[in-house]
Structure formats: C-alpha cells, structure tokens
A and B are shown apart, each in its own frame.
Chain A
C-alpha cells in the first residue's frame, strides 16, 4: 500500500518519530527514497519532539545531521492535546486551537500546500 502511494505521489513526506530507532533505520529509508522517480519530490517531517527528554534532544540533533536540508521547517511536538482530541473524535485544532500540535500541523499543511503549488491537479501527495 505504502509502496503504491510512493509511486503515485508528486510529493513524498516521510514522517519519523524522534527516537533512536529512527536514527538506526536511516539506510533503509534512503534505499526507499532511492527508488523514487527524479520528478518526484520528497521531504522528512519529525514527530514527537520533546526538549524535556535528554534522549529525544540528542536524537533530534542526530536526525537533523542525517537529513539536513530535507527536514521540514516545522516539527511535531509531543502534546497530550492529540490523544485528548482523538478521544473526542475531533481534529486537534478543533478540540484546542492553541495547542502546540495544532500550530505545528498547520505549519506542515501550509508547507505542503506551498510545495504542491496551484498547478498540481489530480494526483495527491502521500503522507
């Protein structure tokens, strides 16, 4: 399914959790990316950023070093508002517009819409 989506998308956004595991599977993801057509664009989004945890802080620095320019300017922060919204079957911005997660998601959405541009029709990105 994921491979199917990868082949169809104009824009591929790889979402990685900020955990040591994501650092270790860097090579696997690189081989996946290698199979993309030259016309297909791609970027990496990070999820679960939490400056309070030393492990996550270190991992964030290593992921930044690994992916460099390919990282989106917005990272998704660890935020209890997300499960709270899920419990009420709402989107996080509907449940709590001031939540940091809502702010981050809006940033990512704005970036994606900017990247796809007005000319793209028909095919959608894979997220």
Chain B
C-alpha cells in the first residue's frame, strides 16, 4: 500500500530518479517545466520501502508482525552488518538528544554553578576560628551569668518557632529555600563543630516549617477513607521528624574519647575475667578467640579466660584443658546468653569482666587500651569498643560495596556511640566490652527481661547513676553474619528487644536518667520502629495512582516548595555530619530491606512484650553457591509489582484520565519511581553471591620469606592471611615456571 502511494506521488511530482532522496526533494519544490511529457511510473522504477526494510532486516514479507521489531534489535550474526544501521541510527538519535538535553541543563544550571563557586570563595575568606574566638570572648561574661544558657536556649527556640510558624506565599517560601540553601553552602565549608551545629539548626528549621505547614494546611479531607490514609501518612512522617530531631541531639557533639593511660604499679592493676559465651558455634570459630584472649597483654599471668559453653560439648572441654582456660557449663539454658553470663558471674571474682562473643578475636592491646578509664573514673561501670568485622555482611557482599561504602555499623560505632558518650549514654553492645563487677552485681547481673540484654543492662547501670565510656578504636575483629536471612533474623531480634525495653522499662519514664540520656535511649529504641512508616512511604502514592484518593490536601507545586528545602537541607546537613559514616541511598536500601521484617516484631512487642524468644545469630557458615533468597525477597517482589502497576496507572492518568492535574500525577510518579529504585536494590541484596573462603582473609602488607623444599629462600610480600591460608606476592620478574606446584613450602613472616 505504501508502495502504491509512493508510485502515485512519484508520478504526480514527476520525480526523475525515484531511487534517490535528493530527486524527491527537488521535485517537491520544483515543478517540471511546462510542456514536458508526463512520464508514467512503473512499480519497478519506484523502490518499495517495506521490501527494502525487509531486505535490510532479513525478514520474509509473510513473516509474523513481531519478527520486524525483533529483527530490528536482534539479528543473526551473519546479517548484523546490514541490519545494524537501524539500531545505530536509533542510538545516534538518542545520543544526540541526550547530549542536547545535557548541554541545555548545563546552560540552565550555569548561574547556579557560578553562585556555588562564589559562595565557596566567600567561605574561604571567612576566618571561622578567629571569628569564633572573638564571639567567644565577647559572650563569655554573659554566659557566666547563672541561668543565662537556658535563657539563650529558650530565646533560640522561640525564634525558631516564629520562623517555623510564619506562613509564606510561594514566593516567600522560594526565597526561604534559596537563602537557607546559600547559608548552608557557606557553612558546610567552615571547619569545626559550631558550623556543623548551625547546619543542623537550619535543617531542623526547614523541617519545622514543613511540619507546621503540613499539619495546619494539608489535612482537609472529604471522606473517611481520605482522612484515614491521610492521617496514616502524617503519622509516618511525624515519626521521621521525631527521629531526625532526636538523632541530631544524640550526635550533636561526638566526644571522641581517647584511651586513658594505666596508672600505678602493674601488680595493682585490676584483675580481669574474660568471658567467651558460646552455644552452637563450631570450635573452629571459637578457637582463635580463645587463643587471642590468652595472648592479651596483662600483668596478672595467666589471664583468667572462661569458655561458657551452653552447648555442653566434650570437644570444647578438651580444648579448654589443652590450652589452659576455664570451662563453665550449667544444667539448663535459661535466659540464653544473659543467663549464661550471669551463671559465670556467680562462679568468678575478677574486679572487671571482659565479654567477647565467641567470634570476636581481641587484639593484644585490648585490656591495656581500655582499662585505664576504670582507674581514672571510679564511677565508670562499663566501657565499650566498636564491633569491627573483617568479612563483608550480606548487604556488602551481595551489592559489592564492602570497604567502599560505609555500612550500617559505621554510623553506629563511628558516630552514634561517640555522640552517646558525650551525654554519658554509651550503650553496651554485648561484646568487645568491659564491665565492672560490683555495679553489675548491684543491678542483679546482666538483664534477662528482654532479648537485647546488653542495651537493657546499660540502661539499668545508667539509672543507678554510673557512667559509661566508649573508645572508638577497633580492639577486636569478628565475622559478620553470612546470609541475608541470618542477618535479617538478627536485626529482628534487636528490634524486638528494643521494643520490649521501650514497653517494660521506658527510658522516658522512671528515675535516675538525665534528659539527654533519655533522648539517646529513646532514639535508639524508637529507631527500630522504622518498619511501619517505611512501608507506608513505599505504598502511599498508590492511594492516588490506583484509587484517585487525595491523602495530602495541597497543590503539588506548593508541596514541592515545602518538601524541597526540608529534603535539601537534611541532605546537606547529613552529608556534613555523617558523610563519612553513612551513605544516604544505601542506608535507605538497608532500611527498606529490614522494614517488612521488623514491622511485625516491633508492633507485637509493643502489644505484648513477652512474645518471642532469643534466637542465636548464625555465623561462620559458607554460602557455597549463588542463589536467590526467594522467601526473604517475596514481600519486596510483591511491593515491586504493586509499584510497577502504580507506575502504569500513573502513565494512564497522566495522558488520559487526569490531564487537568499533571503536576500531582508527576509528583506521585516520581515518588513511586524512587520507591521502585529502592525496592530493586533491596531485591538485589537477596541475590546471595557465592563465598569463596570459609576463613576470611585480612589484608596486610608484610615482608615474608618463602622457603622451598630444597632450602632455597625467596623474598616475598604477604598480601593477606587467615587461619588457614595466606597470599604471597613475589617480585614481578620472578620466573613462575621454576616454582614447583603441589610441593609443601614454609613461609616465614615478620
């Protein structure tokens, strides 16, 4: 048909050479000279475009329709050079469009870039320390007046309240956005802790404005369904606001405590018992920990190391006898790890108790680094050091982010615990810690009421007025959980335990804690309630996209103007305060994975704290082949499908159903798109990748000697080692052929 039309057109225009494009173009504009004889066109003169395309793609004319697009993209190898131009043309077009769009964006953003550069230059010129010192000098007499600090705080809060509650129109709100952003751009370049606090304050103000606006103007609903969903979303948002405020207070001033030197004659240093509780872990996991504990530097030789075996295994008893450590068992397994430790506390008498999970291998310097604070501060009841893992956790292994992107522990041990330490609210984390026996016995030993006995024990110590300490120097290294399901169940236990403490021994109530300690504990516990709110965020846009229910009563553009400063300022402040310890996107993915699984335990524990039992975290396993953990990923698969369906509905709304409210549809689509991105990454975590080694290798650079069987010795460099193997690097010009394969060798390490 197309061919017939072309023949007719060629005849009407009198195209001289129908096979050439240029001839068609010429004839379209230039009429044939009058009087020339009109030439009749035959079908063989005019090329058939369909036949040409079929030839180019190598498709028979009678082939089914889907062969055409299929062949346009996927061709047999032999025909590729001919068919390729179709794809190449498409690709070139797309790339031209892309680069045009990029150039346009670059041009549009030029003023913004210039502004940022100017602000950076301004920040360079500011002599922040000198200004700070002058301000300090000027304000010092004022701040020494009694009660003045509280007055200033109250004044600041009042001013912030005014800023948050003043209504602006869209222009005013836009000016606020711009000014706040410019101020942050200068502040983020200034050194020191005060600019960081100022950034946090701006971020909180932007959030406060959004929260106030959201609560006062966006909650007008027409139906019960709208109201229910709308208030549900508001509750989820209110939760995040609370967590942000508590989090900023918690990490406002990280203490960064240094180890205290030991005092007095070594023979008078306190006696230490070292507890290594175990239940079902294999001896191969426990052995290095016990040997390392024995090798720790401490004047009271030999050290009292105790294996607390709840598995009551003969193999462990024999090993304890062989290496000369104590072995303690008990008739029952009541209260799991907490009960195990309490039983051992009854049978020992050291002044201090060091506790290591059976897979946390301590360094030689552990005691010498940490005991000093117990001498310096007689009220110090507990000292915690970070949990450091030399194997990647399932998130890092399956997403390939190990040692490149800070993991979730980095935030807790790098920033949160240092922040807690400032408020004297360091948490006990169950391992790599030292506790003074007397205060521990005073509170009745390790707490047994909840499944997170460690945090609860620290809370009880703080209630009695004891102090705690945190030293951010990794003094022990352990194995991270191996599989995603084990990791998830470990976090489920923590979440459930924290919710239990929140219910049974709420840190906001009861005696003995300072306001700041209450905030730190409150944040640690409330943090684990993120499950439900996150599920709300992942599904909220569906109310509009599927059912056309408005859950936020506001114009989309105004909503964007209020949300944008909030999100922008939080990201700038977070990047400045936690940049080293937290990667925003991956942290969100992490929470997304856990959300589904901790939503239920935390809710159940809030209703009835007695539900649920202690589950031991499986460690030291090996994932022998790659697989996809379907059972764990199932909820996310469902959420992804739902979100994709919402995207499809949104597209229909955008072009047909709701063409009068394009902005609203677009906002919901962007939101859903972000959710899909996050859920996709969450599913990526469930693709368990294969683990090569059972014993994880520690990366080092050490000189080494490789002794061959015949007595020859080669100079080498050790690149990594573990309990069962090591990596050696020989000089680059070494002739590898000479090295014998399968022959036993010796390696000498410095």
Give per-residue flags for A59-79: 1 if the beta carbon is below 8 A from chain B beta carbons, else 0. Answer: 000000000000000000111
In the complex, the answer to whether A101 meets B733 with C-beta atoms within 8 Å is: no
Give per-residue flags for A70-108: 1 if the beta carbon is below 8 A from chain B beta carbons, else 0. Answer: 000000011111001000000000001111111100000
Q: Measured between alpha carbons, how far is A84 from B705 in the docked complex, in Å? A: 18
Residues of chain A at interface, number, CB under 8 A: 16
- Tell me how far the C-beta of A79 lies from the nearest C-beta in chain B, rounded to whole angstroms: 4
In the complex, the answer to whether B733 meets A98 with C-beta atoms within 8 Å is: yes
Interface of B is mostly: strand
The count of A-to-B residue pairs whose CB atoms sit within 8 angstroms is: 42
**Which one of A80, A100, A101, A102 has the highest number of Cβ atoms from chain B below 10 Å of its Cβ?**
A100
In the complex, the answer to whether A80 meets B710 with C-beta atoms within 8 Å is: yes
Q: Which residues of B contact A78 (CB under 8 A)?
A: 711, 713
In the complex, the answer to whether B748 meets A52 with C-beta atoms within 8 Å is: yes
A51 at the interface (CB under 8 A from B): yes
Q: Which residues of A contact B734 (CB under 8 A)?
A: 98
8 Å CB contact of A99 from B710, B713, B733, B748: B713
Query: A77 and B733 in contact (CB under 8 A), knowing A51-B748, A52-B707, A100-B705?
Result: no
Q: Measured between alpha carbons, how far is A102 from B714 in the docked complex, in Å? A: 9
Q: Which residues of A contact B705 (CB under 8 A)?
A: 51, 77, 100
Q: Measured between alpha carbons, how far is A86 from B473 in the docked complex, in Å? A: 51
In the complex, the answer to whether A79 meets B711 with C-beta atoms within 8 Å is: yes
B618 at the interface (CB under 8 A from A): no
In the complex, the answer to whether A99 meets B707 with C-beta atoms within 8 Å is: no
8 Å CB contact of B714 from A51, A84, A99: A99
Query: A80 and B733 in contact (CB under 8 A), knowing A52-B746, A52-B748, A100-B705?
Result: no
Within 8 A of B (CB), among A6-27: none
Query: A99 and B715 in contact (CB under 8 A), knowing A52-B746, A77-B705?
Result: yes
B411 at the interface (CB under 8 A from A): no
Q: Measured between alpha carbons, how far is A84 from B706 in the docked complex, in Å? A: 17
B321 at the interface (CB under 8 A from A): no
In the complex, the answer to whether B713 meets A100 with C-beta atoms within 8 Å is: yes
- Tell me how far the C-beta of A88 lies from the nearest C-beta in chain B, rounded to whole angstroms: 14
- Tell me how far the C-beta of A32 lies from the nearest C-beta in chain B, rounded to whole angstroms: 31
Give per-residue flags for A18-46: 1 if the beta carbon is below 8 A from chain B beta carbons, else 0. Answer: 00000000000000000000000000000
Query: A81 and B713 in contact (CB under 8 A), knowing A51-B748, A52-B707?
Result: yes
Q: Measured between alpha carbons, how far is A102 from B731 in the docked complex, in Å? A: 12
Chain A residue with the shortest CB-CB distance to B730: A98
Q: Measured between alpha carbons, how far is A100 from B734 in the docked complex, in Å? A: 13
8 Å CB contact of A80 from B711, B730, B748: B711
- Tell me how far the C-beta of A104 lies from the nearest C-beta in chain B, rounded to whole angstroms: 8
Give per-residue flags for B44-79: 1 if the beta carbon is below 8 A from chain A beta carbons, else 0. Answer: 000000000000000000000000000000000000
Q: Which residues of A contact B712 (CB under 8 A)?
A: 79-81, 84, 96, 99
Instruction: Pick the 7 closest A-B CB pairs, nearest first.
Output: A80-B711, A100-B713, A103-B715, A79-B713, A51-B748, A80-B712, A98-B731
Residues of B within 8 A of A (CB): 705-707, 710-715, 730-731, 733-734, 746, 748
Complex A-B: 13 CB contacts under 8 Å: A77-B713, A77-B748, A78-B713, A80-B710, A81-B712, A81-B713, A97-B731, A98-B731, A98-B734, A99-B714, A100-B706, A100-B714, A100-B715
Residues of A within 8 A of B (CB): 51-52, 77-81, 84, 96-103
Apart from the given pairs A52-B748, A101-B713, 16 other A-B contacts in the complex at a CB distance below 8 Å = A77-B713, A77-B748, A78-B711, A79-B711, A80-B711, A80-B712, A81-B712, A96-B712, A97-B731, A98-B730, A99-B712, A99-B715, A100-B713, A100-B714, A100-B715, A102-B715
